[in-house]
Amino acid sequence: AQKVTQAQTEISVVEKEDVTLDCVYETRDTTYYLFWYKQPPSGELVFLIRRNSFDEQNEISGRYSWNFQKSTSSFNFTITASQVVDSAVYFCALSGVDSNYQLIWGAGTKLIIKP
Amino acid sequence: DAGVIQSPRHEVTEMGQEVTLRCKPISGHNSLFWYRQTMMRGLELLIYFNNNVPIDDSGMPEDRFSAKMPNASFSTLKIQPSEPRDSAVYFCASSFGPIEEAFFGQGTRLTVV
């Protein structure tokens, strides 16, 4: 069965600090997809990134970066020089054949950026 | 494109009443998803359509819930009769396909009193 674990329930940092959100997944699939979504206080879910299992290159988008390591089944998300606007709940999700390509969601990590 | 559009944004209803939530997916997207989010259970997939056909409704909690997609640009989620435990935020999302990233609407916050 597929599973996504976000062990950090809540993280609080001061603005401009770097912060890493952990995501560990379990799957028997050889082909699968990993996602990160952001849910700001306003409530909508915002897509951040999609990664397939064959692409282990790290991704950087502005202050955001993602580290995908199949050896440790992890897909961690780092925000560099955090800003108050980064405060949100961040969800990691997984899909693959084993879930009939439905998204399996982690419980989310609430990130609080203090000014 | 305006994104996924859901209506209403907020709904307060009395127990026993029928509730209908509406969704307009992004034009060109073939897959549509209805999710429910609560503090206790997190995000739950209720039902998934592909090309207007329900593919997986195993997440629909019980017969009180029903969903339709009469065409590619409109879907409804109906709860009849509603109960207080149905109170949640209901999200609609759409994507080009089941393995593609899904884009979410702003959600409908349902309160059943």
- Kindly report, residue by residue over B18-57, the tens digit of the pLDDT: 999 999 999 999 999 999 999 999 999 999 999 999 998 9
Min Cα distance B89 → chain A (Å) is 9
pLDDT band at B87 (very low <50, low <70, confident <90, very high): very high
Contact A20, A77 (CB under 8 A): yes
> What mean pLDDT comes out for the span A49-76?
93
What was the pLDDT predicted at B27?
96
Which member of A37, A44, A50 has the closest CB to residue B106?
Answer: A44
- DSSP per residue over A67-78, as a string? EEEGGGTEEEEE
Mark which residues 80-109 of B lie under 8 Å from A by CB. 89, 91, 93, 98-107, 109
CA-CA distance, A68 to A55, in Å (whole number)?
8
From A13, A43, A20, select the one nearest A113 (Cα to Cα).
A13
Paired residues of A22 in beta bridges:
none
Q: What is the pLDDT of residues B61-79, one digit of tens each?
A: 889 999 999 999 999 999 9
Min Cα distance B58 → chain A (Å) is 11
Whether B99 sits inside 8 A of A105 (CB atoms) is: no
Contact B102, B31 (CB under 8 A): yes
Which member of B42, B99, B106 has the closest CB to residue A107?
Answer: B42
Q: Rg (Cα) of chain B, in Å, rounded? A: 13
Q: How many CB atoms lie within 10 A of CB A111?
A: 21
Q: Does residue B1 register a pLDDT over 70? A: no
Strands B42-50 and B103-104: unpaired
CA-CA distance, B98 to B30, in Å (whole number)?
9
Whether B107 sits inside 8 A of A35 (CB atoms) is: no
Whether B101 sits inside 8 A of A50 (CB atoms) is: yes
